[in-house]
Chain A
Amino acid sequence: MYCELANKLVVEAKRTEQLNSRNNARTTLPVHNDELVRNVLKEVTQLKKNLEFFKEQQDIMSTEGISVDSNVMKCQYFVNLLCLERNKRCLLGYQKLRSDMLDSMAWENNGMDVMGSNLGEENSNLTHQEQEYLKKYSELITEMKSGELTDIDLSGSLIPPKEVFIDVRVLKDAGEIQTEYGVFNLIKDSQFFVRQSDVERLIQQGFLQKI
């Protein structure tokens, strides 16, 4: 029957959702299921053809003066229409989930001070349109942050600050990194005692680990 493919798509979306709710790590987006989406779209064109065919038939029958059983027509129309609606809903649901995840990625990773270099490793899993969307959305975020609310770092950490100074350990070699407040020489496994607000971004990027 129609819409079974769309169902598969929703099941996949559900699985993605579950994987992400369990994973404490950053959101990972699986590959966009191009083939399935294309097949669903093919089905949609088929349904559209059906509808056109019904319409033609109705015209022919009414011009020839054959009484049209409007009930039958109505039912056929409805079933087709409902299948279309269902396919639409499944596709939109799948895409919405993905774009929600892209949004959160844009807030978490790309909002850092090294703005502009969208170095998400997921980029290969995204479709062309999604990459475009991610870029535009990040631009929107930057625009908002450079507007009236420049004093607040909106994409900053949501965990309330507890201590002014913290111990951090370097997890990845990164050489010298220039932050807004000074220069750090990040050598792997070295430790620093620094102001939290200085290194918050480096923690978010995964260079440092808070102790």
Chain B
Amino acid sequence: MGYYDIDDMLTEGSEVPCKFLQDIPGLGYLENNPGKPIKANAKLMLPYWLAHILAAIDSIPLSEDSMAVDEEEEAVPFLEMSTPESFSQRVINAIKTDPKSLDLHSINPHFYELAIKWCAIYSAKDLAKVVSDLLLQRSQDINNFAYSMSTTNKNIDSIGSMSNNTDIKPHNLLASSSFLMTLDELEKQIYRTSHESYKDSKRWMFQNK
């Protein structure tokens, strides 16, 4: 989650549905019609990096004299983020029923990282629980697929280049590749790392025999 983290940048680029709470002139280009003001209650999709800051800033005027005037007014942020499609009830239900057959990649390729950010902002305990269960459930399968690798035909050295070429056995190939397509980016990272380490340790063992 560092500043230079490419995946983090892509995560922050995913769009979130937002609602403006104030009229703001000059920002029409966010709605694709520059030159016009944005009306209060306008709904639009904004990238996360823009939305989460605007949702956090309270619009209390900075200058001191106007502070006194507006004191009774409650601090309103510029916009409000509503729950993105990735965390809608429909998706939550799907997660609860069968985590393993869920196509996370098509929901959001950066599901977990966005979920972490979302939970951090809104301290959403329910969502955090659901997502951590999801990761736990799916990691069992990830581990299985990372481990399964042809050791019988002894051509471990030739596996070499491709980490995604999991299985040489045809019936496994189908199952694993369709599962691998459903992984989100974080899971892919986990899968790749664990697959590499299984592969390396196997190669080492068979060479030392």
Task: Return the contact of B6 from the options A74, A83, A97 (Cβ within 8 A).
Answer: A97
Interface residues on B, range: 20 to 34
Given A10-B9, A21-B192: A92 touches B4 (CB 8 Å cut-off): yes
Q: How far is B188's CA from A21's CA once the two chains are assembled, in angstroms?
A: 12
Q: Which of A70, A92, A97 contacts B63 (CB 8 A)?
A: A70
Which of A24, A70, A90 contacts B161 (CB under 8 A)?
A24
Mask, B46-58, CB within 8 Å of A = 1, is: 0101100110010
Give the nearest-CB partner of B7 in chain A.
A14
Are A70 and B6 neighbours in the complex by a CB distance under 8 Å? no
Contact A24 B6, beta carbon cutoff 8 Å: no
Q: How far apart sit A4 and B54, CA to CA, in the bound complex (Å)?
A: 19
The residues of A that contact B163 with a CB separation of less than 8 Å are 21-22
Knowing A10-B13, A93-B4, the reply to whether A82 touches B49 (Cβ < 8 A) is: yes
Of chain B, the residue at the smallest CB distance from A97 is: B6
CB-defined contacts of A14 to chain B, threshold 8 Å: 6-7, 10
CB pair A24 B160 closer than 8 Å: yes
What's the least CB distance linking A47 to chain B, in Å?
11
B47 touches A78 (CB 8 A): no
A117 at the interface (CB under 8 A from B): no
Q: How far apart are A44's CB and chain B's nearest CB, in angstroms?
A: 16
Residue contact A7 to B59, C-beta cutoff 8 Å? no
CA distance in complex: A79, B13 (Å): 15
Using Cβ atoms and an 8 Å threshold, which residues of chain B touch A108?
A: none
A3-B26 contact given A11-B10, A70-B63, A78-B54, CB 8 Å threshold: no
Q: Does B92 contact A (CB under 8 A)?
A: no
| A160: min CB distance to chain B, Å | 12
Q: How far does the alpha carbon of A23 sit from the alpha carbon of B162 in the complex, in Å?
A: 8
Cα distance A24–B192 in the bound complex, in angstroms? 13
Main SS of chain A's interface residues? helix
A10 and B27: CB pair below 8 A? no
Distance of A21 Cα from B160 Cα, bound (Å): 12
One digit per residue, 1 when the CB lies within 8 angstroms of any chain A CB and 0 when it does not, for chain B 30-56 equals: 101000000000000001011001100
Closest to B196 in A: A21
B-contact 0/1 string along A62-77, CB 8 Å cutoff = 0000000011101110
Closest B residue to A25 by CB, please name it. Answer: B161
**Binary per-residue interface labels of chain B (172-209) against chain A in the complex, 1 for a CB within 8 Å, 0 otherwise:** 00000000000000000000100000000000000000
Q: Are B62 and A17 in contact (CB under 8 A)?
A: no
Contact A93 to B192, CB < 8 A, known contacts A10-B13, A71-B61, A76-B24: no
Whether B6 pairs with A79 at a CB distance below 8 angstroms is no
- Find residues 1-25 in chain A having any chain B CB closer than 8 Å to their own CB: 1-3, 7, 10-11, 13-14, 17, 21-24
* A residues near B63, Cβ cutoff 8 Å: 70
Given known A-B contacts A71-B22, A75-B78, A89 and B161 have beta carbons under 8 A apart: no
Interchain CB contact under 8 A, B192 and A79: no
In contact, A70 and B61 (Cβ under 8 angstroms)? yes
Q: Are B6 and A1 in contact (CB under 8 A)?
A: no
Interface positions of A from 86 to 115, Cβ below 8 Å from B: 86, 89-90, 92-93, 96-97
Q: For residue A156, give the distance in angstroms from its CB to the closest CB of chain B.
A: 21
List B1-29 residues whose CB lies under 8 Å from chain A: 3-7, 9-10, 13, 22, 24-27, 29
B155 within 8 A of A: no
Given contacts A70-B63, A75-B54, A78-B78, 5 further A-B contacts (CB under 8 A): A7-B10, A22-B162, A71-B61, A93-B4, A93-B9
| 5 CB < 8 A contacts A-B | A21-B192, A22-B161, A23-B161, A72-B24, A78-B53
Q: Interface residues, chain A, CB within 8 Å of chain B? A: 1-3, 7, 10-11, 13-14, 17, 21-24, 70-72, 74-76, 78-79, 82-83, 86, 89-90, 92-93, 96-97
